[in-house]
Amino acid sequence: MKVLIAEYTTFHDPHLAPEGRAMVSALKKSFEKCRHEVILPQGGDFNAEIERLAPECDYGIVIAPDAMLSRFTHTLELATHNIGTDSTAVAVCASKRLSSKLLANVGINVPKEVGCDFAGKRVIKPVKGEGSIGVRIAKDGEEPKEGEMSVEYIEGEHYSVSIVGSRVVGEACGFYSGLPPVFLTINKQNSYPDENGNFVYEGGVTPVHPEREAEMIEVAKKTIETLGCQGYTGIDMIVADEIYVVDVNSRPTMSLVGIVEVIEEEIADVLLKATVGLPPEGVHYNGKTAKYDAEGGVVVE
C-alpha cells in the first residue's frame, strides 16, 4: 500500500524542520519495514501537495503546527484514509482554551485560566501553539497579547503520554465506534523556564515508569476519549499534588523518535491496525531506553 506522510515544517519552517525530519524518518522507516511505499511532499504549496498526492495513496497522515493542522487534515480526508485524528477534533485540540474547558467539564485537572490580578505565579502561552514556543512565566502585571492566554503555574514533574486512539469506520465512512486506545509509553520531558522565564524544551527520555503511572495512563485514555482523538496522540502532563493535562497534541510528537527504538512492534503496524478497528492490546518493550533531543537526535541505552 501507499502511505502519504505530509510533514509541514521540513520545507516551510526552518526552526522546527529538524524535528519534522526526525519524525518523518522514524515513520518512513517503520512503514517501509512493513512493506508499504511511502510518499512525501516535495515542497511548494503544502495544501496543494496534499491534494496532488493523497488521491494515489491508500492512507495518509499530516504533521503540522497546531494552528494549521485542521485545514491540512481536512484536505487529506477528502482524498484518502486519514490515520490520524479527524479535522474537527484536531481543531478542538489545537485550541488550548477550548480543549481545557472540555477536559475540566469531565473532571480532568487542567491549569486554570486566570487574569493578571491572580496572586500566584502565572504562565502566558499561545492559545494555539506547539511545544514551548511563546510559553513564558508572566512578569508582574503582564497581560497576554492577542492570541495568548494566562494560566496558573503548576510546579511539578513534566511528562508526556503517547497513546494511539482506535476507530471503526462503517460502510458509509460516517460511523465511528470507539475501541480501547493503545497505550505506548510515558516519556519524561526535559522542559523548564530559563533565566528570562521563557520555557525551553530539550527533548526527553522514554520509557519511564513514574510512581503514578497507572493514574497517568487512565487520564490519557479519558482525555482522548473526551476530545475524540484517533491515531497517535501526545498528551503533556504535569504531575504535582494532582495530575494536570497541559496540552493535547493530536499528531505525532518528538517522543515518537524514541518510542520506535524501545517497542518491539512497528509503529506503522500499530497505527494501521488501530485505524481499521483492529488495535493490538498493547505494545511490548525491548528493554532499551531512548534519550532524544529537541532536534531528533537519539541515544539508545
What are the extents of the domains in the chain?
Answer: 2-103+155-300
Grid cell locating 178: 470507539
According to DSSP, the β-strands at 290-292 and 199-206 are antiparallel
Which residue from 269, 247, 255 is spatially nearest to 99, judged by alpha carbons?
247
Residue 125: strand pairing partners? 149
- The structure's pTM equals 0.92
- The DSSP letter of residue 278 is -
| Per-residue pLDDT reduced to its tens digit, 19-60 | 999 999 999 999 999 999 999 999 899 999 999 999 999 999
Residue 82: strand pairing partners? 60
Domain 2-103+155-300 has what CATH class? alpha beta
Q: Degrees (nearest 5) of the Cα angle 289, 290, 296? A: 175
Mean pLDDT of 164-177: 57
Question: What whole-number distance in Å separates Cα of residue 161 and Cα of residue 12?
Answer: 28
Q: Degrees (nearest 5) of the Cα angle 130, 7, 228? A: 60
Mean pLDDT of 184-202: 91
